[in-house]
Chains A and B, each alone.
Chain A
Amino acid sequence: MGESDEPLTRHTVTDLGDGSFVLVLEGELDLSTTDELQTALEVTIASVTGTLIIDIAQLRFADSSAIALWVSWSQRVPKLEIRNAPPMILRVIQAMGLTKKLNPS
């Protein structure tokens, strides 16, 4: 696994104003970073009353912990959508039978 200077996972949150939020994830999200991301976004997830849109176009890698994290969020918000999923991640979501839960596109 290549070590780089930049943090493994970067995220930005945009409040759409109608209770929906866009979360953009970049880099890599795996077991080593999911706890940190969960803590960082706790308040955001709690304030979603509409749709939580997770844009993962720039996410190079996501393991089962990442997917478990998204699934746990999907239990707490009215609706969750994964946007711009790279084929690799899309394939894992399909293989895990989570297409209906995570609504990937």
Chain B
Amino acid sequence: MEGEPEESQTESAPAAGDAGAKRLRFVRWSYTWVRVVVVVGVLVTAGLALISAELASSNEQHLLKLRSKEVASVFTSVLPDIETPMGSALALANITGANPAKFTQFASTYVGLPKGEFVSMSVWRIGHLDQGPVVVVGDPPELPEARGGVIPILRAAERRTGQAAPLTVRGLLDAAQRRFAYVYAGSRRGQFIVEAEETLPARYTTLPATSAYSNIDAAIYVGSHQSPSRLLLRTVAHLPLPGQHAATVISFGTDQLTVVISARQPLGGMLPEQMPWVIAVVGALLTAGAAFLTFRLIWGGSRTQELAAENRRLYSEQHEIAQSLQQALLPDELPKIEGLQLAALYDAGAPGVDVGGDWYDMIRLSPRRLLLVVGDVSGRGIRAAAAMASVRSAIQYAAQADPPEDFLPMLSGLRSLRDQGMLATVLCVIIDLQENRVQITSAGHLPPLLVHDGRCEFLEAEVGLPIGVDTESSYVSSTFAVPDGACLFGFTDGLVERHGENLDDGLERLRQAAMRASGDLEEMMSQILEQVRGPESVDDTAMTGVQWVSQTNR
């Protein structure tokens, strides 16, 4: 046994220093993996958050642009309302030769707050712009005092007369009273030009909270530049507008308006705005989780391996203990007796760790008598082995004084059997060395097999109760004569019992195998064991063999 070192043992018992270094390498290796997971997680999270922020920003920019165009269109939509009365006024002037009474009557509907939108309307004669307005209704026009004077503007309008020209618009932003000036020359060539002026709201105008534009801030400039001097109005106290903003430039008559807006709250709602943060937080949590999981998996896996190695070690240890124990419970050596060949074997059956309950013994009772015992304690494991050991030693002791039929009933009183509810079957064979006779006593045990002269027979003695049932039980011995050269095999049920097979079939298999067996006693027993035993048999088996050597060989 000590000659077969267990593979798993050498593997699981490395030097302590070696194990320490291995463990250190493993710790480094596992932390490297955790680090990789964290780095990958952080990179992926940051990437996703950036993409999300970029998307939210571009989406917001798009919405702001749309909104700014919408705001701009509010301004351009007022142009027709300005052009219509001015066109009518121009037509009236041309028809009436700019009759002051008629013009004043007409224009007063549109001039003068609060009913009309204009503060001033005037008629100018083409070709005589230098002489000033022909008729003025309302306040005096400010346009002539504006930078560059009225003349260039009117001249330009004059040149466009007869063309499909838009309304000339001029923002008078640095005048005493901030006004928009409109000059209309008409689409057909006439004698007059009409000029009208409108006051502007204060530069800083707050929008009512109920307005459709209450969620945005805006700055509107006349012209295509965001120049402070050209600021028409703003909804914030100080420029520039806070945060992300979008600008739209649209034509406003012959001039242009620049509308810049920013949103007080994200137009796309709070979610796209917050999404990068949500992603960052969720990503950080997932990364932490993944790192933890990696850690657990690596260490869990290592723990499993450690446990498996530990189990292998424990198993082989237990197996070895079982083997040693079994060996200790069986005879060290068999007696040497002239005229007899003796052999015995024990097979553990299950490749497990259990100690079995089968045993054999050969006890020299006197120069003339040899007691041969084969027994089987029901069950396996330490309990069975302990019971077996006590029965075996009790027999060794009792057999010195009493014949089997007397000591067998007493064995039932053994506490190791009674208290555990165990049974033991025992076969006792007393060999008379002078007379070639055997006396067989069976306590619930299978009969021994006698092989002689090419014949095989079971020596059926009366079968008494197994040991452990009844201290009052009685046993009867039977005596058989054995011829020279005969072999007698005692065995336990592990040899012949197979799952799902009748006991008699097993006994017959044994008989056939014994008939075929050849060689010396030990060889015969090996052949029998190999042929009779079920391949997957889990029960242990004990077997004894006695061969009466022929007189001629003595």
Cβ-defined contact, B502 with A88, below 8 A: yes
**How many angstroms from the CA of A61 to the CA of B463 in the assembled complex?**
23
Q: Provide the residues of chain A in CB contact with B464, threshold 8 Å.
A: 97
Selected interface stretch from A5-13, A17-25, A49-57, A64-72: A64-72
Q: Provide the residues of chain B in CB contact with A61, threshold 8 Å.
A: 499-500
B404 to chain A, nearest CB (A): 14
Q: Which of B379, B443, B493, B501 contacts A68 (CB under 8 A)?
A: B379
Q: Which of B465, B468, B501, B539 contacts A97 (CB under 8 A)?
A: B465
Q: Among A60, A75, A97, which residue has the most Cβ atoms of chain B within 10 A? A: A97
**How many angstroms from the CA of A72 to the CA of B421 in the assembled complex?**
6
**How many angstroms from the CA of A98 to the CA of B499 in the assembled complex?**
21
Cβ-defined contact, A95 with B499, below 8 A: no
Q: Among B379, B464, B504, B536, which residue has the most Cβ atoms of chain A within 10 A? A: B379
Task: Say yes or no for A31: interface residue by CB 8 A criterion.
Answer: yes
**How many angstroms from the CA of A6 to the CA of B115 in the assembled complex?**
99
Task: Say yes or no for B355: interface residue by CB 8 A criterion.
Answer: no
Cβ-defined contact, A60 with B423, below 8 A: no
Cβ-defined contact, A92 with B465, below 8 A: no
Q: Provide the residues of chain B in CB contact with A68, threshold 8 Å.
A: 378-379, 421-423, 466, 468
**How many angstroms from the CA of A87 to the CA of B501 in the assembled complex?**
10
Cβ-defined contact, B379 with A65, below 8 A: yes
**How many angstroms from the CA of A38 to the CA of B458 in the assembled complex?**
35
Q: Provide the residues of chain B in CB contact with A101, threshold 8 Å.
A: 465, 469-470
Q: Provide the residues of chain A in CB contact with B493, threshold 8 Å.
A: 64
Cβ-defined contact, A1 with B466, below 8 A: no
Cβ-defined contact, B442 with A65, below 8 A: no
Would you call the interface of chain B mostly helix, strand, loop, or mixed? loop
Task: Say yes or no for B142: interface residue by CB 8 A criterion.
Answer: no
B115 to chain A, nearest CB (A): 98
Task: Say yes or no for B248: interface residue by CB 8 A criterion.
Answer: no
Task: Say yes or no for B68: interface residue by CB 8 A criterion.
Answer: no
Task: Say yes or no for B444: interface residue by CB 8 A criterion.
Answer: yes
Task: Say yes or no for A96: interface residue by CB 8 A criterion.
Answer: yes
Q: Which of A60, A72, A88, A100 contacts B503 (CB under 8 A)?
A: A88
**How many angstroms from the CA of A100 to the CA of B444 in the assembled complex?**
12
A97 to chain B, nearest CB (A): 4
**How many angstroms from the CA of A97 to the CA of B538 in the assembled complex?**
24
- Map CB proximity to A onto B455-482 as digits: 1 under 8 Å, 0 otherwise: 0000000011110111000000000000
Q: Which of A38, A64, A97, A98 contacts B376 (CB under 8 A)?
A: A64
Cβ-defined contact, B463 with A96, below 8 A: yes
Cβ-defined contact, A31 with B466, below 8 A: no
B142 to chain A, nearest CB (A): 103
Task: Say yes or no for B322: interface residue by CB 8 A criterion.
Answer: no
**Number of contacting residues on A, CB 8 A?**
25
Given A92-B503, A97-B443 in contact, is the A64-B423 Cβ separation under 8 Å?
yes
Cβ-defined contact, A75 with B499, below 8 A: no
Task: Say yes or no for B425: interface residue by CB 8 A criterion.
Answer: yes
Given A1-B536, A98-B444 in contact, is the A67-B423 Cβ separation under 8 Å?
yes
B414 to chain A, nearest CB (A): 14
Q: Whose C-beta in chain B lies nearest to the C-beta of A69?
A: B421
Given A88-B503, A95-B503 in contact, is the A31-B469 Cβ separation under 8 Å?
no
A63-86 interface (Cβ within 8 A of B): 63-65, 67-69, 71-72, 75
Given A31-B379, A97-B442 in contact, is the A71-B466 Cβ separation under 8 Å?
yes
B486-530 interface (Cβ within 8 A of A): 493, 497, 499-504
- Map CB proximity to A onto B432-449 as digits: 1 under 8 Å, 0 otherwise: 000000000011111000
**How many angstroms from the CA of A7 to the CA of B499 in the assembled complex?**
18
Q: Provide the residues of chain B in CB contact with A91, threshold 8 Å.
A: 502-504
Q: Provide the residues of chain A in CB contact with B245, threshold 8 Å.
A: none
Q: Provide the residues of chain B in CB contact with A100, threshold 8 Å.
A: 465
Cβ-defined contact, B378 with A67, below 8 A: yes
Q: Which of A63, A88, A94, A96 contacts B425 (CB under 8 A)?
A: A96
Cβ-defined contact, A31 with B380, below 8 A: yes
Q: Provide the residues of chain A in CB contact with B499, threshold 8 Å.
A: 1, 61
Q: Whose C-beta in chain B lies nearest to the C-beta of A66?
A: B378
Q: Provide the residues of chain A in CB contact with B538, threshold 8 Å.
A: 1
Cβ-defined contact, A96 with B466, below 8 A: yes
Q: Provide the residues of chain B in CB contact with A63, threshold 8 Å.
A: 378, 497, 539
Q: Whose C-beta in chain B lies nearest to the C-beta of A97?
A: B463
**How many angstroms from the CA of A5 to the CA of B539 in the assembled complex?**
24
A40 to chain B, nearest CB (A): 15
**How many angstroms from the CA of A88 to the CA of B499 in the assembled complex?**
10
A-B contact pairs, 13 of them (CB 8 A): A63-B378, A65-B378, A67-B378, A75-B469, A88-B500, A91-B502, A96-B423, A96-B466, A97-B444, A97-B466, A98-B444, A98-B466, A101-B465
Known: A88-B501, A97-B443, A98-B465. 4 other contacts (CB 8 A): A64-B423, A64-B425, A68-B466, A88-B500
Chain B residues with a Cβ under 8 A of chain A: 376, 378-380, 421-423, 425, 442-446, 463-466, 468-470, 493, 497, 499-504, 536, 538-539
Which 9 pairs, one residue from A and one from B, show the smallest C-beta to C-beta distance?
A97-B463, A72-B421, A96-B444, A68-B378, A68-B423, A64-B378, A97-B444, A91-B503, A88-B502
